[in-house]
Every structure is written in C-alpha cells, then in structure tokens.
Amino acid sequence: MSAVRTPVLAGNWKLFKTGSEGAEFVAALGRRLGRIQGVDVVVAPSFTALYQVAQVAVEHGIGVASQDVYWEEQGAFTGEVAPRMIKDTGAGWVIIGHSERRQFFGETNDGVARKVRAVLHAKLRPILCVGELEEQRVAGETEQVLKTQVEAGLSMVEATNMSSLALAYEPVWAIGTGRTATPQQAQEACAFIRELVVEKLGTNAAATVRILYGGSVKPDNAAELMSQDDIDGGLVGGASLEVESFAGIIEQSRATRT
C-alpha cells in the first residue's frame, strides 16, 4: 500500500441491516476503533438505511456509501434514486457497477459510465467496481475484461476527478466464496488497472486514485493483501457485517502503513 494514498476500507452490507441495525453497528464500530486516523472507513447500507446510519456515522468519522444510484437528477423514473437524494441523506460515497448489479440487475458499462459522471457532478465519491468472472480468468481474458470495464467506467471522467474516485477490483470468483485472490493475483490486477489509468488520464491521476481489492477479505488475510504496492484498501462484504471482523480488517490494514 502506498504511503501517499490514504487507504479506504469500505464495508458493503448488500441486502443486510436495517437502519436501526446499521446505526447501532456504526456506533459500536466507532467505540471499538476510537478516533480513526490515517484511513477512510466507509459503510454501505441499503438506500432506506442511509440517513439513519449517516446520522451516527458522522459522529465517529465514518463515511457512508449507497450501493447504487441512478444517473438522472430527477424525472419520471419510478423506483430510482438520484445522486442529490443520496447526498441529502448525509452519505458521501456511491458504489457503482458492483458485479451483483452487473450479473443480476442488467447493469451495463454504458450505465456505469453515466452513473460515475452523475455522481461526480453531485460532488459525491464513486467507488467504481470492476472484475472478471471465473471463466474469463481461466480463458486468459482478465486483462481484456478489466480494460473494457475501466475504460468504459472512466470514459466521462477528467483527470482532476481522480482524487475523489476509488476503483475496486473484485474478481467475481472471489466474492462470497471464501476463495480470496492471492496477494500476487490481486496486486497484478490492481497494477494493471493503475496502468490503464496512466494511459487514459496520466501519471498524476494514476498516482492519486485509490484502488481497492474486494473478494473474501478477512482479518487474517487483510494485512498481506493491503501491503501490496498497488492495493490501497478493501471493499469488504461478509466480514463487514460483524464489528469485530470489520474492525480487525481495518486494524490490520492500518498496521501495514509504516
């Protein structure tokens, strides 16, 4: 992990935790961690829990993310949530293009690009997710998949936006499976993603952007993953649902920054 980039440890709660459960969680996490320094800690509850969780999170220096967004500011789009509505809850971040959205809800690279642009326009911070399926890795297509997803996701982004954006490399085969990518595999993919940012937006943008790894991150593998040069934090699913395991991951990651 680079000493110049503040790591981000984000917990993606997926379809778990109500507002009151989430608020209780961040209060307990805040007590457990004390004053958080040198790391951005973020939790991503469901839309309906954002406001309630953000109210408590702010007291503990914990950031809040939504798990998705729509790209329009307003209009006849039943069921959708606009960036300014997310901002109004007190959340500061937005996860975009998670593989579960891509796989189960028809998220496309074009939609991801529009969402990234809309979120930046609203002065929120996107966490743009990319990652290959197992069959794509086996077929040797990992780099091509990452290239397509990263180039599309960043197609409407300026170099100056990159300090407020994070990328998350989440190999789909490692999500919720307990099969973590090896630190070498994760580092290789994150370094490749950083190279893509160099090509598209230049070296300064690439040196600034935080690139996270996600996929079965646990307290006992966090330190090794987070100590890789091009890994600047983690996007954590299952292990972010318990205070002890999420706090353990945060502490392990912080310990690698010496």
Residues in contact with ligand 13P by the rule CB under 6 A: 12, 98, 170, 175-176, 214-217, 235-239
Burial (Cβ within 10 Å: 0-12, 13-18, ≥19) of residue 251 = middle
Between 71 and 169, CB nearer to ligand 13P: 169
Handedness of CA 149, 121, 40, 206 (dihedral sign): positive
**What 3-state DSSP class applies to 7?**
coil
Between 132 and 170, CB nearer to ligand 13P: 170
Burial (Cβ within 10 Å: 0-12, 13-18, ≥19) of residue 181 = buried
Name, in order, each residue with C-beta under 8 angstroms of 115's C-beta and a sequence gap of 6 or more: 68, 69, 70, 71, 94, 96, 97, 126
Active-site annotation holds for 60: no
258 within 8 A of 31, measured Cβ to Cβ: no
Between 98 and 210, CB nearer to ligand 13P: 98
Instruction: Please identify the residue of the shown chain whose CB is closest to the bound ligand 13P.
Output: 237
Active-site annotation holds for 188: no
Q: What is the nearest approach in angstroms of ligand 13P to the Cβ of residue 176?
A: 4
- What is each CA distance from 100 to 59, 76, 118, 140, 185, in whole angstroms? 31, 25, 21, 22, 21
The catalytically annotated residue of 100, 107, 132, 170 is 170
Q: What is the nearest approach in angstroms of ligand 13P to the Cβ of residue 59?
A: 25
The catalytically annotated residue of 98, 100, 107, 132 is 98
Q: What is the nearest approach in angstroms of ligand 13P to the Cβ of residue 178?
A: 8
Between 12 and 66, CB nearer to ligand 13P: 12
Q: What is the nearest approach in angstroms of ligand 13P to the Cβ of residue 93?
A: 13
Catalytic residues: 98, 170
